[in-house]
Amino acid sequence: MQALTAEEYARLDQLAEAWRRCHLKDAKTASHFNPRLGVDALCFQPHVLADGSRGLLGALVTPLSLSLVLVLDSPAASTPEPRQRLLTLPSGRYVVVREPLGETDGLWRCELLDDLSDVGSLEEGSRLAQQLMERVMTPAVSDA
């Protein structure tokens, strides 16, 4: 796995902060809100899409959910972006939906666990994100 640059880590931190700014107030009203969790962008690695665009692929842990997330290096400025994209990973295909985070930034997200209320700590959330990334980056076993 390729190490991220300081700039890439800073961008992921900015996106986590943008999620907090855009969604945390409403998240606190959800019945499954987990106050033991923060918003963390974890286990990211460089990823190249089928169309040649590049980005970072990883997990986003929030007090509500665990999601597979794609952050593009440079969003298409000249053409409107689609609302969703299909990611083909070793474990299968995932539909990621565009989630704007303010006026100029955003990410592509596929929510995989929609209730983390039973996760007991930040460390457990981090382990869950690691397990998620291991599973989505491991080829699916076919029934032969």
* Number of other residues whose CB lies within 10 A of the CB of residue 87: 18
Q: How far is CA 3 from CA 9, 47, 48, 54, 106, in A?
A: 10, 12, 15, 15, 22
Q: What is the per-residue pLDDT for 4?
A: 92
The pLDDT tens digits along the chain (144 residues) read 578 999 999 999 999 999 999 999 999 999 999 999 999 999 999 999 888 889 999 999 999 999 999 999 875 544 567 889 999 999 999 999 999 888 777 899 999 999 999 999 999 999 999 999 999 999 877 655
Quote the pTM value: 0.89
